[in-house]
Amino acid sequence: MRTTLRFWRWRPNPLRRRSDRTEAWVVLVAGLLLCLGAPLAGTAAGLGMVKHSPGPTAAWHRATAVLVDDASSAPATGWSAVGVGNVRVAAEVQWTAADGTLRTGDAMVAPNSRAGQHVGIWLDRHGTLRSDPADPAQAQARAVVFGLMVATAVCLTALAAQGAAVALLNRRRVAALGREWAQVGPIWGRHPA
């Protein structure tokens, strides 16, 4: 025989306390955040990441630079280092700006590239070196990872808030029980056993 009732906090009951109703609302809100809020937040974050992923604008143009030093064979770390099917390393390059000045900077190149080799770089309208734009697969992978991180953060926040609220409610219930027992306990203690 089953002794527990489902949704007992929502049913009318003369023994139902205000804290029971509050806990029911806390559980409902946490459940909605877990079921609806986390997927929506993750999806919105992922779509926003795709929309704002670095890409060449009309002001960017492709240029050729010369490798100053040999590129290392160890790949760099980070999002811009690894693309789909290609590994890149940071190396110092030199190029001539539109005004004729010689400029240097770090660009992502193929591993083991030799000094003096010509490499492609991206420059903005001011001649400033820009990072390589993300290809669509790379931007999509970043968006998925970022969306999962945001969804996980929403879930953990909802569960932590629910746990804190229930702990606070339980502390108040114990304090109320202590006050009520202080009133009733001495009366019960007078009866002989």
Which residues have C-beta within 8 Å of that of residue 162, sequence separation ≥ 6? 26, 27, 30
Q: What is the pLDDT of residue 26?
A: 94
Q: How much is the pLDDT for 35?
A: 95
Cβ contact 91:105 at 8 Å: no
Q: pLDDT of 52-64, one tens digit each?
A: 876 666 677 788 8
Are 129 and 105 contacting, i.e. CB atoms less than 8 angstroms apart?
yes
* pLDDT score recorded for residue 191: 62
The pTM of this model reads 0.62
For the chain, which residues make up each domain, given as ranges?
19-50+141-182, 61-133
According to DSSP, residue 141 is labeled H
Task: Give the pLDDT score at 77.
Answer: 56
List the helix and strand counts (H, then E) for the chain: 3, 5
Low-confidence ranges of the chain (pLDDT < 50): 79-84
What is residue 140's DSSP assignment? H
